[in-house]
């Protein structure tokens, strides 16, 4: 199993740990926002009317994207939805083919300063430590327990696999689901001071709702662990488990005292990142999406695959341009690096949504939207964004 996992562990390393596995880049710089046109290969050039939400006819006059500032990006999204849902329009798409795929980390929820799944790994190591006294002196656990992620990752693939095995494997799928749910019920983001489940992007929630109201099936297509996301995606995004595509661990069915269980093994079956995303889409969905949303180079191939089909297409990159309300990062970020895909967006005319300029709000209301005071916040990390702040 380890041998098989090793084959894909480079990509897996990127999945949980970002490019931090490899090097420590300079602080992230931010590009100016690059809103662009909707990619529509159909000959329709008629200005589009706002789409009619099929599930909420009483809201005909309401703005379906209230958290989006008026502008080219918002109008391009609304225009696309209008075209694909207007019978007789050259851009019309039959309902069964209205497939939209969304990256998760950095597109639907926060991914800075570290992936939420990595925060889970680190917390789990601390939670399990009392039952593993040997971890006090054994790397990479010793470094994790000391809050030194950089040292933990110095052990490379072997260290990474040990951390994943200790936190994601060796239990049934049902036990893992409960573990994940328990963690999400209390774990908070170090900067925003709100639950991780509240670190989702309100404007993207509105896009999800708009698309579904217009007959789309919405899918998550993420490099993150499929069974780490599923326990919360229905509540957070309205996306049921069967519409989540992600990196998949090896599983084993067995009977334990006559009771059937599925056990999580310490090996990876499929890495759903970069070139893996179109493959994961084919394996799980079996249709090419007509709309895809991402935020990093890990999404580039998914966007290429989506844009490459015939007929109406909507391809959008979320650009993290807002250093005040969120985090500004792109070409040099160790997590969520957006470089080649940003270049391709320019040449291909993909939409680029600037969080600073296109979004009125970042997170949903009704929570502690104000960042915690420095005292309440974790101690400044020694070498951001890799140090582990105790929660």
Chain residues binding a copy of itself by CB under 8 A are 96, 99, 173, 217, 219, 226-227, 230, 234, 240-244, 248, 251-255, 259-260, 262, 269-270, 275-279, 282-287, 301, 304-305, 308
Q: How many CB atoms lie within 10 A of CB 349?
A: 15
Q: What angle in degrees, to the nearest 10, is found between the helix axes of 202-213 and 72-85?
A: 20
195 or 251, CB closer to a copy of itself?
Answer: 251
Provide the minimum distance between the beta carbon of 270 and a copy of itself in the complex, in angstroms, as a whole number. Answer: 7
In the complex with a copy of itself, the residue whose CB is nearer, 66 or 240, is 240
- Rounded to whole angstroms, the Cα distance separating 29 from 272 reads 27
Nearer to a copy of itself, 292 or 362 (CB): 292
How far does CA 156 lie from the centroid of its chain?
A: 24
User: Which residue number, 107 or 243, has a Cβ lying nearer to a copy of itself?
Assistant: 243
Q: Distance between CA 127 and CA 26 in Å, rounded?
A: 32
Give 42 or 173: the residue with its C-beta nearer to a copy of itself.
173
Instruction: Considering the complex, state which of residue 219 and residue 329 has its C-beta at the smaller distance from a copy of itself.
Output: 219
CA angle 279, 283, 288 (to 5 degrees): 70
Between 122 and 180, name the residue whose CB sits nearer to a copy of itself.
180
Min. distance of Cβ 96 from a copy of itself in angstroms? 6
What's the closest the beta carbon of residue 175 comes to a copy of itself, in angstroms?
13
Query: Within 10 Å of residue 143's Cβ, how many Cβ atoms?
Result: 20
Q: How far is the CB of 95 from a copy of itself (least distance, A)?
A: 10
Rounded CA gap, 15 and 5, in Å? Answer: 13
Q: How far is the CB of 288 from a copy of itself (least distance, A)?
A: 9
Q: Which of 30, 29, 18, 26 is nearest to 354 (CA)?
A: 30
Q: What angle do CA 332, 195, 185 make, to 5 degrees?
A: 130
- The residue among 78 and 208 lying less far from a copy of itself, judged by its C-beta, is 208
**Angle at which helices 276-284 and 300-307 pack, to 10 degrees?**
60
Q: How far is the CB of 371 from a copy of itself (least distance, A)?
A: 34
**CB neighbour burial string for 305-330, b if at least 16 within 10 angstroms, e if fewer:** bbbeeeebbbbbbbbbbbeeebbbbb
Rounded to 10 deg, the angle between the 116-128 and 2-17 helix axes is 120
- For the CB of residue 180, give the shortest distance to a copy of itself in the complex, in Å: 12
Which of 234/343 has CB closer to a copy of itself?
Answer: 234
Residue closer to a copy of itself (CB basis): 51 or 231: 231
Q: Are 244 and 220 in contact (CB under 8 A)?
A: yes
Interatomic CA distance for residues 13 and 16, integer angstroms:
6
For the bound state, the minimum distance from the C-beta of residue 309 to a copy of itself, rounded and expressed in Å, comes to 9
Query: Long-range contacts for 137-143 (Cβ within 8 Å, ≥24 apart)?
Result: 141/166
Compute the residue count for the chain. Answer: 391
* Least distance (Å) between residue 139 CB and a copy of itself: 31
**Secondary structure of residue 35 in the 3-state scheme:** coil
Q: Which of 308, 319, 320, 224 is nearest to 273 (CA)?
A: 224
């Amino acid at each position: 199993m380890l041998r098989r996992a090793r084959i894909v562990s480079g990509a897996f390393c990127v999945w949980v740990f970002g490019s931090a596995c490899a090097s420590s880049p300079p602080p992230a710089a931010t590009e100016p926002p690059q809103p662009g046109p909707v990619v529509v290969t159909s000959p329709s050039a008629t200005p589009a009317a706002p789409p009619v939400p099929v599930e909420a006819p009483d809201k005909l006059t309401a703005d379906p994207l209230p958290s989006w500032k008026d502008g080219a990006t918002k109008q391009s999204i609304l225009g696309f939805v209008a075209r694909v849902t207007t019978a007789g329009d050259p851009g019309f798409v039959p309902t069964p083919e209205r497939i939209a795929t969304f990256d998760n980390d950095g597109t639907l929820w926060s991914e800075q300063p570290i992936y939420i799944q990595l925060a889970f790994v680190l917390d789990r190591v601390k939670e399990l430590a009392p039952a593993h006294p040997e971890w006090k002196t054994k790397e990479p656990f010793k470094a994790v327990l000391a809050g030194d992620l950089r040292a933990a990752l110095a052990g490379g693939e072997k260290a990474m696999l040990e951390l994943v095995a200790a936190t994601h494997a060796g239990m049934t799928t049902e036990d893992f689901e409960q573990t994940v749910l328990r963690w999400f019920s209390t774990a908070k983001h170090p900067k925003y001071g709100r639950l991780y489940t509240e670190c989702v992007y309100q404007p993207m929630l509105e896009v999800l709702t708009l698309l579904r109201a217009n007959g789309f099936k919405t899918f998550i297509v993420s490099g993150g662990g499929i069974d780490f996301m599923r326990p919360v995606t229905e509540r957070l995004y309205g996306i049921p488990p069967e519409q989540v595509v992600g990196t998949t661990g090896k599983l084993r069915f067995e009977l334990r005292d006559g009771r059937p269980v599925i056990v999580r093994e310490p090996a990876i079956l499929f890495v759903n990142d970069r070139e893996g995303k179109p493959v994961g889409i084919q394996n799980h969905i079996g249709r090419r999406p007509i709309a895809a949303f991402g935020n990093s180079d890990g999404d580039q191939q998914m966007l290429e695959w989506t844009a490459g089909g015939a007929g109406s297409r909507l391809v959008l990159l979320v650009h993290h341009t807002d250093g005040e309300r969120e985090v500004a990062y792109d070409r040099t970020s160790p997590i969520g690096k957006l470089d080649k895909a940003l270049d391709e967006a320019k040449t291909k005319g993909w939409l680029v949504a600037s969080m600073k300029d296109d979004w009125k709000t970042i997170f949903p209301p009704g929570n502690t939207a104000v960042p915690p005071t420095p005292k309440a916040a974790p101690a400044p990390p020694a070498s951001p964004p890799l140090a582990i702040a105790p929660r």
